[in-house]
Copies of this chain bind each other. A is one copy, B any other.
């Protein structure tokens, strides 16, 4: 890969010039206005400064105010041609002058203004999320949940193989990586005819997920064809769908998960674009039975994204790996998820978030949540010097994801959150 940035990008950095993920940051204190940026090495490039300097000179972006907003929704709405224009402009600007474009590299005052050390900025939610949907697209996860909750007879419900099962999640409680999560209180029901108990969740869990960020939406009543669905997906983030298993188990029949999930969902700050993920595309799994025509795609793609979850117990210096999985464990593709979501006419809007569901692999070391890793708390998982059945107060959960290219990475950074005890 000949492309090289004049900004130093260490070999293990997630943010090479091949990546250029989009986020929104604040610089200069709490009162600073949030603005869009891309990550490059250990720096954030301020897109509002680049735009103000007239360096977005392509037809889609030169007269747009989309980089002078406090979220990316307006940019997302512009669609793939504008995204491609932004990407190629930025790759040119950030590449070494010997390759291409000296406008930024040789402009010391602009560099000073626009290239900010990552340690100096605070990342905020990159999008205003109108609606958040969570799918259930790993067969291994669906099977393990079925075995745990319903037993060995037909652990995977028959509908699962015909459609990407999903439910609506809570948009208001989606938070940015680094936000503490307060242990939820609620009702649980231990067994049989005993009355429910009430109190802090005793079975607090993480869920290793990723989520697609919707670009242009669709009109109510007008489904998106599965073969055009990719044009409606801007990119992907890491997601931790925190789950209180005791609350969930007691409440979820017949209308699905509610308070067992809605106390918080964490996403990573950097949206990695589908364009940056393109070199890591791989075949999606064969689907048997074959999907109905509206879900049958000409090209069915997954992505080879290595995923890891670490837990850092309170007071420990180190964090410890509890699972390793990969995005390519998903059975239903992102594009099938999106097409299914709209087949009834449901309208998507720019900035909507589509979670994949817990990304569990086939091996026990690749399960995507403690429910599966400890088999609903029936066995212990070692975490450094201690063990876990479920999360304890003070635990920090850190998800990371990375695509390894030839001499460069396209990484997602991390998605982390620490559990705080619930209020008295």
Residues of A at the B interface (CB closer than 8 Å) are: 130-131, 136, 145, 149, 157-159, 162-163, 165-173, 175, 182, 184-187, 189, 195-196, 198, 217, 220-223, 244, 247, 250-260, 262-264, 289, 292-294, 340-341, 343-349, 352, 422-423
Contact = CB atoms under 8 A, between A and B. Distances in A.
A253 B156 CA distance: 10
Contacts of A185: 223, 343-345
Number of copies: 2
10 contacts: A159-B250, A163-B251, A165-B254, A166-B258, A167-B255, A170-B346, A173-B345, A185-B343, A198-B292, A221-B263
A149 B254 CA distance: 11
A159 B259 CA distance: 14
Contacts of A220: 172-173, 175, 182, 263-264
Nearest to A187: B163
A409 to B, nearest CB: 33
B171 A251 contact: no
A159 B423 contact: no
B162 A196 contact: yes
Contacts of A292: 187, 196, 198
Nearest to A186: B344
Contact of A169 (B136, B168, B189, B247): B168
A423 B187 CA distance: 44
B172 A289 contact: no
B184 A345 contact: yes
Nearest to A217: B172
Q: Which are the 6 A-B pairs with shortest beta-carbon distances?
A: A256-B256, A184-B344, A168-B168, A182-B221, A167-B255, A259-B344
A202 to B, nearest CB: 13
B172 A423 contact: no
B168 A167 contact: yes
B256 A254 contact: yes
Contact of A252 (B198, B221, B256): B256
A159 B251 contact: yes
Contact of A171 (B130, B244, B340): B130
Among A157, A220, A252, A341, the most chain B Cβ lie within 10 Å of the Cβ of A220
Contacts of A163: 187, 196, 250-251
Contacts of A136: 255
Contacts of A252: 254-256
Contacts of A196: 159, 162-163, 292
A217 B167 CA distance: 24
A89 B168 CA distance: 40
Contact of A259 (B149, B173, B187, B346): B346
Given A185-B223, A223-B185, A263-B346, A171 B131 contact: yes
Given A162-B187, A256-B252, A292-B198, A173 B264 contact: no
Contacts of A157: 253-254
B294 A347 contact: no
A264 B345 contact: yes
A294 B196 CA distance: 13
A263 B131 contact: no
A186 B221 CA distance: 12
B222 A340 contact: no
A131 B172 contact: yes
A308 to B, nearest CB: 26
Nearest to A259: B344
Contact of A247 (B172, B184, B250, B344): B344
B172 A352 contact: yes
A229 B95 CA distance: 56
A136 B255 CA distance: 9
Among A130, A166, A255, the most chain B Cβ lie within 10 Å of the Cβ of A255
Contacts of A172: 130-131, 217, 220, 346-349, 352
A241 to B, nearest CB: 12
